[in-house]
């Protein structure tokens, strides 16, 4: 038996399940704080939230850092990459800054 152009229909509408999200929503306030840095000419990097944007002050330089699309990773206008590191409780405790081919670590106070 060969059947061509057969379509099965039911009286019930088909419900489509919403797609599951893989990443939990991140609260940008988690990043705010003062980080004690090692290996830099200035002792601290300060991260704050202003008008919904993540701002960073590093020595004399400062400005907005923008998300890269990777979780907890930000771009500082092409001059540096900032990675916020979380502990086992998902709390931001450290910062890793990569700039000019070097890597610098900071601990949140």
Give 14's Cβ-side CA count (13 Å radius). Answer: 4
- By the 10 Å C-beta count (0-12 exposed, 13-18 middle, 19+ buried), 84 is classed as buried
The length of the chain is: 109
What are the structural domain ranges in the chain? Answer: 28-108
Per-residue pLDDT of the chain (109 residues; tens, 9 = 90+): 555 555 556 666 555 555 544 445 789 999 999 999 998 889 999 999 999 999 999 988 899 999 999 999 999 999 999 999 999 999 999 999 999 899 999 999 9
Could you name the CATH architecture of 28-108?
Beta Barrel (2.40)
Cα-based angle 79, 32, 106 (whole degrees, multiple of 5): 60
pLDDT digits (tens, 9 = 90+) for 48-66: 999 999 999 998 889 999 9
Distance CA 57, CA 70 (A): 22
Distance CA 26, CA 21 (A): 12
Give 18's Cβ-side CA count (13 Å radius). Answer: 3
Largest Cα span, the chain: 82
């Amino acid at each position: 038996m060969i059947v061509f152009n057969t379509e099965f229909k039911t009286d019930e509408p088909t419900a489509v399940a919403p797609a599951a999200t893989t990443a939990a929503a991140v609260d940008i306030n988690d990043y705010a704080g003062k980080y004690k840095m090692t290996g830099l000419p200035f002792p601290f990097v300060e991260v704050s939230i202003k008008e919904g944007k993540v701002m960073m002050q590093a020595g004399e330089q400062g400005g907005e850092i923008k998300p890269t699309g990777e979780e907890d990773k930000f771009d500082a206008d092409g001059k540096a990459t900032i990675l916020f590191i979380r502990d086992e409780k998902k709390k931001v405790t450290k910062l890793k800054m990569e700039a000019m081919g070097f890597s610098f670590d900071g601990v949140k106070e």
